[in-house]
């Protein structure tokens, strides 16, 4: 069952909801409350948006929390501190919904995320031509060789970017797949993603460690 929209939630209600979702999901949770400009469903008051995340990480239940780099430092900082204090990993993210930046910009974003105390760096782009997908994969490989010391997520959205969702050999450590309902263009069925990852040597076959 999908969680209620964040505009129907009060921060005080979040801990109970997070615990219920975790019990039903039977898998690690990644908590997000996305900025509308980066794919969120609706505009929100920023203080309240971050208060919801703070309430979620305070439970210590989520495995990770995603905080956009565009979030004001005065709001992001306390949530990051609370997350780390509760043993919740912090994903710092940037979602370009209109196109694909230059390789220099992508590298700068990954470096900034690492400098901003991210445990995981995430860059998502919208490709227009095949070269856009290659650029992001190349940026991940270059970042890993030059400076990146934390896991990262590199994804190009939509059908054109689907191949980039299997970029483990290019420095991307995580990918996203559809369980019940897609949350972004280009996401594929979970079972299909698992099979492709096994075929590419990026995941052990079922039953193997």
User: Does 19 qualify as catalytic in the annotation?
Assistant: no
Distance between CA atoms of 33 and 44, rounded to whole angstroms? Answer: 10
84 is catalytic: no
Q: What whole-number distance in Å separates Cα of residue 199 and Cα of residue 64?
A: 27
Q: Rounded to whole angstroms, how far apart are CA atoms 199 and 51?
A: 42
Nearest CA to 82 out of 97, 67, 99, 103 is that of 67
What gap in Å lies between CA 96 and CA 11, rounded to an integer?
A: 28
Catalytic residue among 19, 84, 122, 169: 122
Query: How far apart (Å, rounded) are the C-alpha atoms in residues 128 and 120?
Result: 26
CA 59 to the chain's CA centroid: 20
Candidates 19, 41, 84, 95; catalytic one:
95
Report the catalytic residues.
Answer: 95, 122
């Amino acid at each position: 069952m999908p969680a209620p929209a964040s505009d129907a939630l009060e921060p005080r209600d979040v801990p109970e909801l997070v615990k219920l979702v975790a019990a039903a999901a039977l898998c690690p949770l990644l908590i997000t409350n996305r900025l509308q400009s980066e794919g969120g469903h609706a505009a929100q008051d920023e203080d309240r948006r971050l208060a919801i995340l703070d309430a979620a990480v305070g439970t210590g239940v989520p495995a990770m929390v995603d905080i956009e780099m565009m979030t004001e430092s005065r709001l992001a900082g306390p949530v990051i501190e609370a997350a780390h204090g509760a043993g919740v990993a912090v994903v710092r993210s940037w979602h370009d919904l209109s196109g694909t930046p230059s390789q220099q910009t992508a590298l700068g974003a990954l470096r900034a995320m690492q400098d901003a105390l991210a445990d995981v760096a995430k860059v998502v782009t919208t490709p227009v031509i095949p070269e856009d997908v290659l650029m992001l994969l190349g940026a991940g490989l270059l970042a890993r060789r030059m400076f990146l010391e934390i896991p990262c997520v590199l994804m190009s959205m939509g059908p054109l970017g689907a191949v980039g969702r299997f970029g483990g050999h290019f420095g991307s450590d995580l990918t996203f797949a559809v369980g019940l309902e897609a949350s972004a263009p280009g996401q594929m069925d979970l079972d299909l993603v698992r099979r492709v990852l096994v075929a590419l040597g990026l995941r052990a076959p079922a039953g193997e460690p």
